Structure 1
């Protein structure tokens, strides 16, 4: 019973009615007041909220006195429209709503879930939280709203899927299909949910329905993202279609038998010779055997489509520092080869994790002219050795190892590649391949000396074999890194870096237009050619995803391009997709943390930053992001610990954590140390042509010191000012907040493209 209670409905729109059913227009026509009421009623945990919290959510642009006055006015308006007993308070600093006088569908939804009344909860969930509602001047409220929308949608999905499984177990197949379709409708872009729906419909015998929902999904992602469904989704629907073709209903449509021909009345069996009989029997036998093997491979592939294997870096037992690249190179190429088979979910891991099904370990040893490779696949948890091998090769046989191991692993699991793996142009000269591996290893270290060595090694590889596309792509990427970070490259004038980058990228695509790496490199190069636009980069990234929609690196790059062009939700979804495909992908983990840090969702940012640090404690960007997020949350001790850890790494923090270090020094009252840090960063930057990260970080450091003029002067040095990545930092970096009301700062901002 809800007699004499005001009703507030937030799912699928907005509705507020008095106890007699009248719409309370006086509040509904005031967006800030209704948003405040919605937050007080729906924010979890359900409790009183401090006024300081509400000021930051709804009036961040006002000073303390004016913000408090605005809050008092809003609360007064709510009390006038709702009645004096709907809002509750404790002292002068805390305010909330009385559940006995105001009923809210969001709270009721939560109560139904806690009572395991899944259908009751779904009756209340009529759409996204505050669907279509937006407060442009309250970014903190918008971030809270986005997070709550996602959380409540996920809870609704879980409820619907629970009902689908329960109905299936009870034999009510119609209800099972209904609730499964409801689950998919709640998250129309989630491919994992689509596969669950297709599998359930297939299990229920509704193969037409399964194919129909797949085709609708395929059309939608083609229009919205210009990509195709993932390979495992295609494999699943192919299996469904094959069963539908072989089902009794399909067989019943076969044409009726024709009457025997009048030409010959001799029994059919007598018209075959013994040799003919043997040929027919043998042909039928081979066809049946091929069919059985194909079905077994399909069944194995379907069984393994959700299985995961973690590849631990191969141990290098060579004993020579010059061979340090071998273990990393073999691990990288085997990961790529096994992933390209689209059978298993493949991750690079530092050690075994409980969420993985299989663990692959191995070693490599180079001695004189021989290469000794060992590998074994272990069922995680049980310790059972599923497969093991040892390869003894000539030292120039490295190139054959990843594909050979991939074939053996799939054979051991009874599977085969679900799709054609990406074509790789193999160099006829193994020395060129070895030089390429060395170059890739050096480029991954991202220091000035190692990047110079990478460029030299890639160039030498190309000189040895000019038809090797990965060598050209590797060279283009190394030159891009030097260009982006302002690293000098011996023998390459800085003003010719971009031209050489373009030539190398073009050559890679001319040699192999089906290479994902070549298209990903083209996207990076196009950003250097025109930093003010992303259309060519987005086109190249979509070409890469059309070749391999399960490539985590492609989704990672796509996310940044989307963020730079102002597509916040799509960027977050793309980074989430990258992490779903590769949970150990450090760059995506770190940038998901940065994504939420940019949008001031600091608690969510902390989760992703912690995940990046836990995945690899030696990953500098992860440490820096964790420190910046901790600082934003007011946790100075934690911030100091993370930033100090970044400082102790071999690569150092560079300028990335500068504002964090300066803020900590200022908070400790040590402005001398803070200014010393800024001076050191200024000395490292090129004052005539600084890179955008140096400019932004030095400006943020001066903002932390309260020196607004110097901060703005550094920002004004960067060219081109319309560089989308520079604009991204200007729009979103929290350390630049003290500058946002300055006319000189606003003059730097341009429209997003």
Structure 2
């Protein structure tokens, strides 16, 4: 296949790999070829639109002859299949007929395959290229394309570096940061990251050399000095402090109490038993939950710490990744009818053990909970944490006396944490089994309510004769009113019924009872977003990720909240982080596409949405019609209006009034949009967020109309509100 390489000095190679210099001898041929290949929107070009671009000083007849001659040379060099005609006036490139480094680069960037993209980026687009007797419009277009490719390449270096930083692979991070700096020598951000990477890798000398070289460059080129932040970092390096370095973390982790002395992670306990009955998981979860109820402790969620079973990472490294000072480690062993638990408290920055103890009792549910309470008390005493008056008077409860019910509940929670279809159904069955053994087990009722709520949320069918989530969660609260998990489950159930005030009340109650309960925080953030309180949602959402930094679901929730606050770049970053944590979590592709659209990266957004489509069901969130509608938005932005018009015929407005309303708005059919919006029967999470916050350009005219105010009132009423909250 013919190769066309234009990222750098242009070269064309034939199927034997030999250079084809004859075509490049005519610079205007290359200019025309590049324009036909890269001009957006991609597709057909009218001949009469090309004439003034490339032959501005020729009459039309001469210019047409010149164009025909150029097209002949393109076909001769790249093959007859490289050009396609539509009628006599339209032509387009057929990229499948040859290979192009520029198109490969764009495709790899869209897939976030940054490393392969950068392999083909030799230098700026058509570096050193010049053509005379051509229009200024073409010159401007070429310069913008150079800048676009250059920016994509620089950002790819930065994204690769960020990925390696998250893996604590500082050597590779530094490699890509140096490449990025070659592309953008003025970037203080890249220089700062490079200095940090070298510092974390133990090479302060090299980090200081980077700073000194950058300072000289700024002085020589711009007569400026680096910004205060990078100067301060360099000053700290020069002092050669012995402080354990902290790698950069996500913005959502940078809170006022970062690196709090009472931040703790309970790492998964190792099961040393010959038979794996999952008591280690249950005991680990019980201790974690007991500690999360202490207001002066900041406890990392189970979902995040489960990533560290039998890890070879050092305590200092785990502490930095989770942003905690203390780690609780342990082993559980069942020997016959005896349960033995050994735990250690480690000061993460110094990787030093400060306390350890072994607990041994007869294996009963009662004794497991007694050990849980003893461990929690010993940790509080070691860390010199005082309980609040209310915490001192709170009654200590042992959830169940049935050991098998306890085991089934533990397995159910582990299954539910997967957030997959199989995991939810398996969790539901396990919770049912636990309740059959102990009908008064409040935690099992709470788990059962969550399983029902998640099935409803994801549009999955409920088993026959299922109870409503509100009934099940209310049963949990009735059995134990002081259980934060039960109140959170009830809040989730109310959310499913769009009872905003009741849901918010339950989430706040859950946080009041369990101040480190991450699940309650993220749901409280989401319900605030649904009720029109975007700013309040953001504060709570960012806090939730601090408690559960390695959960893809939490990252996606926070991404959606960021979008609602018009923080589109932050929303994209959270969606990408979710995909890094779990590439199989399909919802990430949808939110990533939504973020990319709002950043005007329409081709990349379309690529992400296409990945979502196979997972979108007719009644899921988002539904298939809703995903297709967003794809229509992308196609429309890229110049293809027909795709969305055809979609109108496919989507039945009576069944899918909201996607139809979006399509009407896209095509400036305001009255038709409002007619469709009037037919929306249920304002769920997707439609609510879209109407309140997203697509400011497409919905600008709708939001100025007085009918929009009435619509918001209708949505508020649907969510149990009397009036709109901005």
- After TM superposition, the score normalised by the length of structure 1 is 0.47
Q: Which has the higher contact order (CA 8 A, sep 6+)?
A: 2
- After TM superposition, the score normalised by the length of structure 2 is 0.48
